[in-house]
């Protein structure tokens, strides 16, 4: 049976949008789709990644606004990996409101377009979008709230990948529930991300009887998201990441997790450092010191494909915040759950 396309609108055409779109064409190729390398779920609920169609996109940079989305994803300041040629899509990047989307550190990097702002809700309706994916900078609180309200107005479900607390806010849950729409978030977990790896290590060690006493995880990156984090959302991200790590331990321990600096020449690369201290048999001491190197934007791809397809499925029978998706794919869901519990709930939802 042929399933209908999942029509998505992207808010922000940065590096994550670039990887998201490139991946759709990468996995539409038979040799890549068949093996599904790099994907946790090559098929989820009957949907493949190639069943996702981007029908609208919004940005504020003059190098992207007014251009076909296939060209805009490779325009500066985007600097993530180029792995796939994307054909002309016939989707023009529209100008959205700036609001608080550009912090002080980004003012020298982002070139704001002088074109007229679009009626976002009407564009969403005309495009046929079902799901809006929020890829705004992490410090854009007002802009995230504004786009969420436009999604409600247009009758679209909303995916909040940013650390702005939206799905974790009961007021927004109520708004989406009353509108008959799905809301999931907040702060997307990376596929090979530091938070995921840190939680998995702590869960494994705890299950084996190790008592964790202190642990930290620190990130250094060079992309626009890294400079935005250091400028406006450093402490928010640190609090959310620390809470996420603590949730994997069944007892109190010293935990710190967050971004520590911006290194321009790293570009879209991220360096993550882990330190774990504890005791095992007869209080023998143990320490782990690790480093993880990744490219930032592709880290969101596989998880975001899972989220978009799951929202499409959930929207048939659930409204408001969907906890199984939020707990599975986000650092700060409305309720923190152990990894195994979240994954079990997610799989039950899909089935």
Mean pLDDT by 10-residue block, N- to C-terminus, for the chain (351 residues)? 82 97 91 79 94 98 98 96 95 97 86 97 98 95 97 98 96 98 96 90 96 96 83 84 91 92 90 97 97 94 97 96 97 91 95 88
DSSP 250: S
Q: Are 94 and 116 in contact (CB under 8 A)?
A: no
Domains for the chain: give ranges and CATH numbers.
6-189+299-350 (3.40.50.720), 194-295 (3.30.360.10)
Residue 1 has a pLDDT of: 40
Q: How far apart are CA 309 and CA 323, in angstroms?
A: 15
Exposed/middle/buried for residue 299 (C-beta within 10 Å: 0-12, 13-18, 19+) = buried
Q: Are 255 and 195 in contact (CB under 8 A)?
A: no
Q: What are phi and psi of 84, to 5 degrees?
A: -150, 135
Beta strand 211-221 with 269-279 is antiparallel
Neighbours of 19 (CB within 10 A): 27
Neighbours of 245 (CB within 10 A): 24
**Helix, strand or coil for residue 83?**
coil
**Residue 11 CB contacts under 8 Å (≥ 6 apart), including other chains:** 57, 58, 96, 132, 133, 134, 135, 136, 147
Q: How far apart are CA 168 and CA 11, in angstroms?
A: 20
Beta strand ranges found along the chain (DSSP E): 6-11, 52-59, 93-95, 131-134, 157-160, 182-184, 211-221, 254-262, 269-279, 285-295, 320-321
Residue 230 has a pLDDT of: 84
Residue 3 has a pLDDT of: 64
Residue 33 has a pLDDT of: 67
């Amino acid at each position: 049976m042929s399933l209908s396309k999942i029509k998505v609108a992207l808010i922000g055409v940065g590096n994550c949008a670039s990887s998201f779109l490139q991946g759709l064409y990468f996995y539409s190729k038979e040799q890549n789709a068949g093996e599904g390398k790099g994907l946790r779920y090559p098929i989820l609920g009957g949907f493949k990644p190639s069943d996702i169609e981007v029908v609208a996109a919004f940005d504020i940079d003059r190098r992207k606004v007014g251009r076909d989305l296939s060209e805009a994803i490779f325009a500066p300041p985007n600097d993530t990996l180029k792995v796939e040629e994307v054909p002309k899509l016939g989707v023009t990047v529209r100008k959205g409101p700036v609001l608080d989307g550009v912090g002080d550190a980004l003012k020298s990097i982002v070139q704001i377009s002088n074109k007229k702002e679009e009626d976002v809700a009407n564009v969403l309706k005309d495009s046929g979008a079902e799901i809006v994916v929020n890829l705004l900078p992490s410090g854009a609180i007002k802009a995230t709230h504004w786009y969420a309200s436009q999604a409600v107005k247009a009758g679209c479900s909303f995916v909040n990948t940013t650390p702005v607390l939206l799905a974790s806010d009961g007021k927004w849950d109520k708004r989406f529930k009353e509108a008959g729409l799905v809301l999931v978030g907040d702060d997307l977990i990376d596929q090979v991300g530091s938070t995921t790896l840190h939680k998995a290590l702590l869960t494994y060690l705890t299950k084996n009887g190790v008592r964790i006493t202190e642990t930290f995880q620190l990130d250094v990156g060079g992309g626009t998201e890294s400079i935005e984090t250091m400028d406006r959302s450093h402490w928010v991200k640190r609090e959310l990441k620390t809470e996420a790590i603590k949730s994997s331990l069944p007892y109190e321990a010293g935990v710190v997790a967050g971004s520590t600096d911006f290194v321009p020449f790293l570009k879209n690369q991220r360096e993550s450092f882990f330190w774990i201290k504890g005791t095992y048999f007869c209080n023998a001491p143990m320490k782990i010191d690790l480093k993880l190197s990744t490219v930032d934007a592709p880290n969101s791809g596989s998880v975001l494909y899972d989220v978009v397809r799951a929202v499409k499925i959930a929207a048939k029978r659930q409204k408001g915040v969907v906890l199984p998706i939020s707990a599975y794919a986000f650092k700060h869901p409305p309720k923190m759950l152990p990894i195994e519990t979240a994954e079990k709930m997610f799989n039950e939802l899909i089935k």
